[in-house]
A and B are shown apart, each in its own frame.
Chain A
Amino acid sequence: MATDTTISEKMNDTAEMKADWSGGKPPMKASYGKLMMWYFLLSDAFTFSGFLIAYGALRMSVPTWPVPDFVFQSFPGGFTGMPLIFVTVMSFVLIVSSVTMVRAVQEGKRENKRGVVFWLLMTAIGGIAFLSCQAYEWNTLIAHENMTVFENPFGSHTVDGVYINDDGSEGETFRAGDSYLVHKTHGDWHFRKFRITSGENAGEMAYETLGPQAFGALFYCITGFHGFHVFSGVVFLIIIAVNAASGLYVKRRNGYEMVEKIGLYWHFVDLVWVFVFLVFYLL
């Protein structure tokens, strides 16, 4: 008897599922637009995964890699020696803008036009703030630290050693794994000289070299691609805010669904940043 009920329940389930797919209504109970937004985000997730996995593979393929705490330690106002503080601020900006987006969607569900417009504009401002932070970060790297797509001045030592000053005296010491930044003076790289104090070549003199070449290209490509997503998100947010303010969505049968769709996209941008933040700055 018990088996009979389970079997009939199973048959009911199958019947329901068949009914879902028998046409006339969306089988996944989501509108076409929302469904396609999900699949677009899935494909975009694979694009970003491809980039981040390439970063991982290239990072593994060289003996040393610039330490993010050393590379990203500037803060607006000329501060330096503040590792990861500025990118943490950037993360907070994006998290807050994600939360304001959720608020916009909630107001959309209540058909509160003013609320939708207000929170959408807040979200757009968050996006612009994030882009400004990124502009500062890129400017520091390009204009002050001379990192390009082809050259990366951030290196790490593979041996212990001690720097030799220009007058031949010994300067500061360093250990294997410590990072350095090669400076440019009058358009030429200035590689500092040092004496190796550990390993097979102990006692020999050596010069600093440029760091792993791929670092610059990977950084600009991946954060640039993410920044481009943020930028297009801001453009869409503004367009939808204008549409909402003009009362366009009041007349629509699906109401404020456009707000939900741009919401999905915006949360995805935040989601990608979680992993860009993890891979570039934290690990």
Chain B
Amino acid sequence: MAHHSYEEAKKLVYKGLILLAIITLIEVIVSLFGKGHLGWHEAFYLTWVRYIVGFVIIVLSLYKAYYIVFEFMHMGSETKSLSRTVLLPMLLLIWAIIAFMYEGNYWNNSRSYILEQNMETSERVVPDLPQEGPKEETHHMEESH
């Protein structure tokens, strides 16, 4: 900030406003497209569309976050030691996100496994079918995506 004159700094701020507004608008349009609202209705049911759209939106959001921290909060003009002590701990979150998403997926598999087990036991309990052998069912636990 210090190396810009007041007029320049003022201009930069309104440029930032327009930039953030446009990025937000692009995000919303991409998201709506991925949900099948903008013409291509089939997009909502396609997993690969969801992945691409999700990736684009996450990258744009991270850019917005970078812009707010470095332009609006002036992280760039702080000393290196200060910006490192604030930003480096955030890297821990990368592992937190990976680990918890993996864990959530595991819970999902456990839930569907228990559901299947319960259905099988309740079917075995039916008194009319004692002579039938144990049901041989393949477990479709892993979802294709």
Contact A92 B108 (CB under 8 A): no
Contact B24 A28 (CB under 8 A): no
Residues of chain B with a CB closer than 8 A to A283's CB: 31, 54, 57-58
Contact B100 A57 (CB under 8 A): yes
Residue of B32, B68, B86 near A274 (CB, 8 A) is B68
Q: Which of A59-67, A140-148, A164-172 lies at the binding interface?
A: A59-67
Q: Complex formed: what's the CA distance from A282 to B53 in Å?
A: 9
The verdict on A39 contacting B86 (CB below 8 Å), with A53-B96, A274-B61, A283-B54 known, is yes
| Residues 30-54 of chain B, each 1 if its beta carbon lies under 8 Å from chain A, else 0 | 0110010100000011000000001
Query: Smallest Cβ distance from B29 to chain A, in angstroms?
Result: 10
Contact A28 B96 (CB under 8 A): no
Contact A278 B21 (CB under 8 A): no
Docked complex: B1-36 residues within 8 A CB-CB of A: 1, 6, 9-10, 13-14, 16-17, 20-21, 24-25, 27-28, 31-32, 35
Residue of A49, A60, A96 near B96 (CB, 8 A) is A49
B78 contacts partner chain A, Cβ-Cβ < 8 Å: yes
A210 contacts partner chain B, Cβ-Cβ < 8 Å: no
Query: Smallest Cβ distance from B4 to chain A, in angstroms?
Result: 10
Residues of chain B with a CB closer than 8 A to A101's CB: 72
Q: Complex formed: what's the CA distance from A274 to B21 in Å?
A: 12
Residue of B1, B17, B82 near A99 (CB, 8 A) is B17
A206 contacts partner chain B, Cβ-Cβ < 8 Å: no
The verdict on A99 contacting B111 (CB below 8 Å), with A27-B81, A30-B78, A49-B93 known, is no
Contact B78 A84 (CB under 8 A): no
Residues of chain B with a CB closer than 8 A to A84's CB: 28, 31-32
Query: Which size bracket describes the interface of B in this complex?
Result: 35 or more
| Residues 158-185 of chain A, each 1 if its beta carbon lies under 8 Å from chain B, else 0 | 0000000000000000011100000000
Query: Smallest Cβ distance from B137 to chain A, in angstroms?
Result: 10
- B100 and chain A: residue at smallest CB distance: A57
Contact A95 B17 (CB under 8 A): yes
| Residues 35-56 of chain A, each 1 if its beta carbon lies under 8 Å from chain B, else 0 | 1001101100110010001101
Some 12 contacts from A to B, beta carbons below 8 A apart, are: A27-B81, A30-B79, A53-B97, A56-B104, A58-B104, A61-B105, A69-B32, A98-B72, A102-B16, A106-B13, A176-B45, A283-B57
A57-B100, A177-B45, A264-B73 given; 10 more Cβ-contact pairs under 8 Å: A42-B89, A54-B100, A63-B108, A88-B24, A92-B24, A98-B72, A99-B14, A99-B17, A102-B16, A271-B69
